Structure 1
Amino acid sequence: MSKIVFAGHSIVKGTDYGGVTRTDTFAYKIGTAAGYASADIYIKGVSGDTSAGLLARLQADVIGLAPDVCVIMIGANDWSTGVSVATFTANLRLIASKVIGAGIKLVLMTDNMNRGSVAEFVSLGTYEDAIRKVSVEYNCPLVDIFSRMCFKALCNDYTQYYAGTTDKIHFSIAGHTWAAQVSSETSPKDAFVKVTSTPPVVVTEPTAQDVQDLSVAISDYLINGQLTSDLSVIEQIRSRFP
């Protein structure tokens, strides 16, 4: 059975705020939209978790489950607890290398925007930049929630902006629905499923002997008045070619 794991902090967990249930979360909505059965959608969000915490439980909560796909949103608590961008980036790189090294497809998501001061907005943005950078380095799909929410704020779309959160950063039911919609609209097709590539067809080149035999057979066919027997020889030799 195909499985998908969503790992990260309380925004991923979803159910600690605003009366959100498991089936309301963006993780569940993304999973079902991608065709996963409910039992095969694992939501491993831990409130207050950082990149170091996720790294420590990565084997148990992600790799040990042997999913096809792992979606990670982490970073907001690294920012709020003063973990340096350099340390966060190093941890995220290690997480990415372990997940991909285990044969699991990785998808990264940026955090939701924190509704606070301009200084807070700018400083959290540096962690989101690190997530984007790692997604490029490891060639994995990225769902840029942070940028989309920032765009709403810039466009003064405050009705949906405030309706989407229960506090400064955690999604409401409407926010989870919006995040799932963003994932669908901005992600490559099949971003949340593991696509097995078809092995290339190996075409063998004709040997020098094959080419020589065919040349002789064609000459005989032309010289001998295009006999049916000579044509049969040509067809037999031609069958040796790819």
Structure 2
Amino acid sequence: MFNYFPWRGSVASRNYIANQAIRALALIGSYALCTNVFAAEISEPKPHPTWYLTGSIGQQSADIDHARINSRLQQDSGVSVRSITDDHQATSYKLGAGYALMQNLGLEVGYVDLGKQNFTATTKPDGSLTGQRSVQALNFDVIGNYAFKPALHGFARLGLSYAKVNDSFTREGAVLRVSDGGTSNAVNLHAGLGVQYEFSPAWAVRLEAERYLAKNVAESTQPINLISLGLVWRFGVQ
């Protein structure tokens, strides 16, 4: 079964990026832990909120490989592509909850709707192929924080996401052999970097860049990048 939402990049490059992300986030986590232990030795620990909620809106993007679509249509239906139009960016929404294990280390769970990607390929002889993909995911992450200033923090996350991918395809004219699509579910690595500014004891604004991995019905894994802006609300803070 052919993946009509192919992405650019080799397995080696994906593994290299993932390994570098794991190393960087492991260092951040170690630093966060050491910072808290050291602070506890020299002064009494300061109380900090433990539970919080987050909500964000952003835009996701993922590459669609036009050359590969053309190649597969030639192989499967014996047609060549006249043109391809696509919309590989979409508005996304996130909701989450977090728990601060200590001042610089915490856990977060969340849900994200990554929106829809689509493309339309017109062919010669006359025909067309239209594809659409929607992705939703649940994530569980470890969060490491670093305070640049009392109200300004940088943070990194590393964890797992459980992504549900829905693919659908419609064909017309000379396009004959195409899968109707389907649904797939898979667990993959999830990572992100961001900054957070606290404009009151209870509220903060957060800017974040994340990478999700989504596996489709053809068992091909696609990276999806998300940039989002949102709010953080802490429980029990006036």
Counting strand residues as a fraction of each chain, which structure ranks higher?
Answer: 2
Calculate the TM-score normalised by the size of structure 2. Answer: 0.22
Counting helix residues as a fraction of each chain, which structure ranks higher?
Answer: 1
Calculate the TM-score normalised by the size of structure 1. Answer: 0.22
